[in-house]
């Protein structure tokens, strides 16, 4: 069984640029969530996708957007990057089950200079 995979693992951007992060969900999981984790902090919910539709959003501005594809993989796009966007971005998938356990990928470490 393949777990959640994310790419790229590390990347460096400059202020004002745009970035796309990718995530392949675990086999059989149809829900994907994205979290931002700053150093020394807990993950912060960005948004969730189910059946290719956004299904819940955290307190992040519209320049954070996403997509989910028919194979349940997902992208996180961030426009007009700011220095404070530097963080680890975690993708998590889950089955549409009652417990709601999330299975996290290793994350993408974004540095904005």
Partner 1 sequence: GQNIDQPTEMTATEGAIVQINCTYQTSGFNGLFWYQQHAGEAPTFLSYNVLDGLEEKGRFSSFLSRSKGYSYLLLKELQMKDSASYLCAVRVLTGGGNKLTFGTGTQLKVEL
Point out which residues bind partner 1 (CB under 8 A).
Answer: 4, 31, 33, 35, 40-45, 48, 50, 55-56, 58, 90, 94, 99-107
| Closest approach of partner 1 to the CB of residue 80, in Å | 25
Task: Give the SS3 label for residue 85.
Answer: helix
Nearer to partner 1, 75 or 80 (CB): 75
Q: What's the CA gap between 80 and 3, in Å, rounded?
A: 31
Measured distance between the N- and C-terminal CA atoms of the chain, rounded to whole angstroms: 37
Largest CA distance in the chain: 41
Nearer to partner 1, 7 or 14 (CB): 7
Nearer to partner 1, 24 or 31 (CB): 31
Q: How many CB atoms lie within 10 A of CB 86?
A: 17
Q: What's the CA gap between 34 and 45, in Å, rounded?
A: 6
| Closest approach of partner 1 to the CB of residue 10, in Å | 11
| Closest approach of partner 1 to the CB of residue 94, in Å | 5
């Amino acid at each position: 069984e393949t777990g959640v995979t994310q790419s790229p693992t590390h990347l460096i951007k400059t202020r004002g640029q745009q970035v796309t992060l990718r995530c392949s969900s675990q086999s059989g999981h149809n829900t994907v969530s994205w979290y931002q984790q700053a150093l020394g902090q807990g993950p912060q919910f960005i948004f969730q996708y189910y059946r290719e539709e956004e299904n819940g959003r955290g307190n992040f501005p519209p320049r954070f957007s996403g997509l989910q594809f028919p194979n349940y993989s997902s992208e996180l796009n961030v426009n007009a990057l700011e220095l404070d966007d530097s963080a680890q971005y975690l993708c998590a998938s889950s089955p549409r089950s009652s417990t709601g356990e999330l299975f996290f990928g290793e994350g993408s470490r974004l540095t904005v200079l």
